[in-house]
Amino acid sequence: MKTLKSTLSILAAVLLVAACGPKEKTVETSDAKAVASAENATTLAINTENSMITWIGSKPAGKHNGTIPISEGEVKVEGTEIVAANFQMDITNLVVLDLPADSEYNGKLKGHLMSADFFDAENHPTATFEMTGAEKFDASKVTSDLDEPKTDNTPASMGDIMVENPTHIISGNLTMRGTTKNISFPATVTMENGMVKAKANFNIDRTEWGLTFKERASLAEKLKDDFIYNTVNVGFEIETAPKPAL
C-alpha cells in the first residue's frame, strides 16, 4: 500500500517499537505537499459532535485505545466529489477508553501521553490534517511493511483493519509535534442528504513524527518484552453539516 504515509500517531504516540518479526503494514510517508485548492467549491463545516479520531497503541504486555476530538474543520465539494478538506485535532483532550475514567492509571497514562515522551502537548496542543489529493481506490497503491516482533499483542495488519469497500485513496499532510508528513490511505467517502461522511482505518509509524519513546529496545528489553511498538492504528470518522439548499 502506497497509502498512509505514516500518521494521527495522534494516537500513534501512544505506543509501538522496533524489532523483527511479521511485517505489519503502515502508511508510507513523504515530505509535505501542496494543499488541494478548491476556489469554486461548496464549503461544508465538519460536525465535531459526530466526528472523531481513534487510536490503538500496543506493547507486548497489552494494548490501550482511545479517541482524540476534532475541534474544527471543513470539507469542500464540487458536485458529489470531495476536492479539499482540513481539520484540527485537540491533543489535550485525548481520551483513554480501556481504563476506568476515574482510575489512577488512566490519569497516569494520559499524563504520559501528554508529556515530551509522546505528544508534547504543552508545546504542541493540536495536530492537523490537510488534504492534498483524492483519487478512486486502487488496491495496488496500498501498502508498506514495517517489521514488528511477534507477541500476543502485535498490532493488527493493515489488511485486517482497513475499512470495507474503500472508495478512495486520500492523501494529506499530517502535522503532529511540529513535524509534517504527507500520508495516503484508503477511505470510504459518501455523500448523503447533502452531508459528506468519510471513514478510514490504517496504521502509521509513530516515530515519523518524533514519538520515539521506547522505540529502540535493547536485547535485554526485547527478552523481557519491555518495549512499545512503533506501529499505531489510527482511525477517523468524519461527518459534515448538510450542504446548504440552493
What are the pLDDT digits (tens) for 143-192? 665 678 888 999 998 888 999 999 999 999 999 999 999 999 999 999 98
How much is the pLDDT for 147? Answer: 74
Residue 27 has pLDDT above 60, yes or no: no
Question: Confidence band (pLDDT; 50, 70, 90) for 33?
Answer: low
pTM of this prediction? 0.82
Pair 45, 34: CB distance under 8 Å: no
Please state, in angstroms and rounded to a whole number, the distance separating the CA atoms of residues 91 and 10.
Answer: 7
What are the pLDDT digits (tens) for 78-137? 988 999 999 999 999 999 999 999 999 999 999 999 999 999 999 999 999 999 999 999
Pair 24, 1: CB distance under 8 Å: no
Of residues 179, 163, 120, 156, the one with CA closest to residue 233 = 156
Please state, in angstroms and rounded to a whole number, the distance separating the CA atoms of residues 4 and 121.
Answer: 23
How much is the pLDDT for 149? Answer: 81
Please state, in angstroms and rounded to a whole number, the distance separating the CA atoms of residues 11 and 200.
Answer: 14
Report residue 156 as a C-alpha cell.
493488527
Q: Which domains can be identified in the chain, with CATH numbers?
A: 12-239 (2.40.128.110)
DSSP state string for 148-166: ----TTPPPPHHHHSPSS-
Partners of 168 in the beta sheet?
Answer: 136, 187
End-to-end distance of the chain based on CA atoms, in angstroms? 40
Partners of 99 in the beta sheet?
Answer: none
What are the pLDDT digits (tens) for 10-22? 333 333 333 334 4
Q: In Å, how far from its chain's centre is CA 211? A: 13
Of residues 221, 224, 201, the one with CA closest to residue 213 = 221
